[in-house]
A and B are shown apart, each in its own frame.
Chain A
Amino acid sequence: MSVESAPAVQEKKKEALFSKKNIRILRDPLDDNNPVTVQVLGICSALAVTVQVKPAMIMALGVIFVTAFSNLFTSLLRNTIPNRVRIIVQLIIIATLVTIVDQVLKAYMFDISKKLSVFVGLIITNCIVMGRLEAFALAQKPWPSLMDGIGNGLGYGIILVVVAVIREIFGAGTVLGFHVIPQWAYDHGYVNNGLMVLPPAALFVIGVYIWAQRSWNKKLVNVS
């Protein structure tokens, strides 16, 4: 920590870990400032990994891990990172974390890792991660940064899981591999919807989610 900034910090009263402000930082990305449906970031991986619920959940956990810790580390280093090379430093932090996620998945969940394939590696290019570093972590203290990272990862994860549940129910009739559409429905002529397995379906589902979200959350109308 540099000497100049120290007095400024002491002037303020020490903030509680879960003060109202911090809770808001954590909660905002879930709805009001959702990275996928409001900021429209990270759409590509939302299209690719949401065919089934399980890979989507793993992917969401991976992204939460990366956003949380990249935010934390960048925030810790924020006063020592030279401004002109900050993107490179951020990329190194993100890439390290993504490699950890990738290796853990390969070691303990090989089949899931195969399903997610290249999209784990592509977390590096996920705009949400770098967007939060640039917009938040570079200017905020470590604890709020960690909260912001977890919040944004969760906001992304919620969308991923919601979309995946819808796509898996209609595309394969299952959730997490369990059959939810009863056999008698198939006996009476019900057929799984092949469109739901194709990537465009994720676009439709996210679009409808945005529509629904804007209907219940009037704050968002005409914001973006």
Chain B
Amino acid sequence: MKFLQNIVDSVKPHFVKGGRFEKLYPVFEAFETFLFVPGETTSHGVHVRDAMDMKRTMMAVILALIPATLFGMWNVGYQHYLAFGMEATLMENFMFGFWKVLPIIIVSYAVGLGVEFAFSALRGHPVSEGYLVTGLLIPLTLPVTIPLWMVALAAVFCTLLGKEIFGGTGMNFMNPALLARAFLFFAFPAFMSGDIWTDLSPEAGHAVVDAFSGATNLVAFDANFHNVQSASDMFWGFEQGSIGETSAAACLIGALILIITGVGSWRIIVSACLGALLMGLTLNMVAPADLPNHAMHTPAYYHLLIGSFAFGVVFMATDPVSAAQTEKGKWIYGLLIGAFTVILRVFNPAYPEGVMLSILLMNVFAPLIDHIVVEQHIKSRLKRA
């Protein structure tokens, strides 16, 4: 570590005011604080600071995302070899997925951070750490067959229009990674829905097996909910879908890490699950009895396992910037996300994955929820006075 410190200290004079690369100071500062906790002290106002600064917070989320990422890589390979009816070992599955997913992650990071660094240098503000998480979330929400230039376009779109235009990290009112996914979903629907979930790059001597169907559980369940895979398959994630979202188990590990480190709000996660369960049960009660296969009959707990509900709720809905801030508000916010997701899934087959749209919708409403909660609190205090 001393060795790294020496390097950083030796190049520092070039970047501070009057140095040769004065303009690139934000870039240098980003790397410096990435490696070491900055030694600055607050000049006024609050002097007690948590060691958990923004970079550390972001690293906790990255850590929580690792199980989902690793499982996603394995599943990409697993689905690929399954489609060709080939036997493959755990390592073969993983390495196949690794080489498919890695370029997407690299493009997402390179392009997004490029935009962010360019903006910081232009505007002269420090590079914000927000993109560390967004850059990994974007690939995990996309199908593995997505063309790389679309990933790059989405990264540019979400950094520019999702974040920088509002003033950078912490000022965005929508989750940037979800915005990137929504952008691709509406801009290139042919690449974001349909039979694109499994990588079908040809294998010498093998053809796609007859039983292969490119439809995900979400599409299958709209026609006949009995067609979905078993609950355990969906829980562990042996299903087709976006790279990182198939496994509810991996998301659960992530949720534990987020809750223990205090980065994600357990209230949002719990209330969103409750919201989905309650709405699922309500639909079960009012479901038409003469259509036994109708999606409204789906057992309520299926909604937690199917599609990317777990991933969205754990990693997207808990985004501390775009979620509701008040404790009561978080409960309302989460409940509505869960409820809207189920409604969208069951009643609108055109948008199979409701969780993306309902989180974005509630992101927009979060300030309003907070406002109502705060006003309500003031009113009740005034009554007591």
Contact = CB atoms under 8 A, between A and B. Distances in A.
A211 interface: yes
A62 B39 CA distance: 63
25 contacts: A189-B147, A189-B149, A190-B149, A191-B147, A191-B150, A191-B188, A191-B190, A191-B191, A193-B187, A193-B188, A194-B186, A194-B187, A194-B188, A194-B189, A195-B183, A195-B186, A195-B187, A196-B187, A198-B186, A200-B186, A204-B161, A207-B161, A207-B165, A208-B161, A211-B165
Nearest to B148: A189
Contacts of A190: 149
Contacts of B183: 195
Contacts of B190: 191
Counting from the closest, the 6 A-B pairs by CB-CB distance are A195-B187, A195-B186, A193-B187, A194-B187, A189-B147, A191-B188
Q: Most B CB atoms within 10 A — which of A196, A204, A207?
A: A204
Q: Could you tell me the dominant secondary structure of chain A's interface residues?
A: helix
Interface string A185-224: 0000111011110101000100110010000000000000
B309 to A, nearest CB: 25
Contacts of B161: 204, 207-208
B189 to A, nearest CB: 6
Interface string B108-151: 00000000000000000000000000000000000000010110
Contacts of A193: 187-188
Nearest to A198: B186
Interface in A49-69: none
Interface string A167-192: 00000000000000000000001110
A161 B143 CA distance: 36
A189 to B, nearest CB: 5
Contacts of A198: 186
Nearest to B147: A189
Contacts of B188: 191, 193-194
A207 B157 CA distance: 13
B119 to A, nearest CB: 12
With most chain B CB atoms within 10 A of its CB, the pick from A189, A194, A198, A207 is A194
A191 B188 CA distance: 8
A196 B153 CA distance: 13
A190 to B, nearest CB: 8
A14 B238 CA distance: 85
Contacts of A194: 186-189
A13 to B, nearest CB: 49
Contacts of A211: 165
Interface in B165-210: 165, 183, 186-191
Contacts of A200: 186
Interface string B368-382: 000000000000000
A195 B185 CA distance: 9
A199 B188 CA distance: 15
Nearest to B161: A204
B363 to A, nearest CB: 16
A28 B187 CA distance: 36
B216 to A, nearest CB: 20
A204 B188 CA distance: 17
A204 B161 CA distance: 8
A196 B157 CA distance: 13
B190 to A, nearest CB: 7
Contacts of A208: 161
Contacts of A207: 161, 165
Contacts of A189: 147, 149
Q: Which of B165, B183, B187, B189 has the most CB of A within 10 A?
A: B187
Query: Which among A193, A207, A208 has the highest number of chain B CB atoms within 10 Å?
Result: A193
Contacts of A191: 147, 150, 188, 190-191
Nearest to A196: B187
A198 B183 CA distance: 12
A194 B183 CA distance: 10
Nearest to B165: A211
A190 B190 CA distance: 12
A52 to B, nearest CB: 18
A51 B161 CA distance: 20
Given A190-B149, A198-B186, 14 more contacts: A189-B149, A191-B147, A191-B150, A191-B190, A191-B191, A193-B187, A193-B188, A194-B187, A194-B189, A195-B186, A196-B187, A207-B161, A207-B165, A211-B165
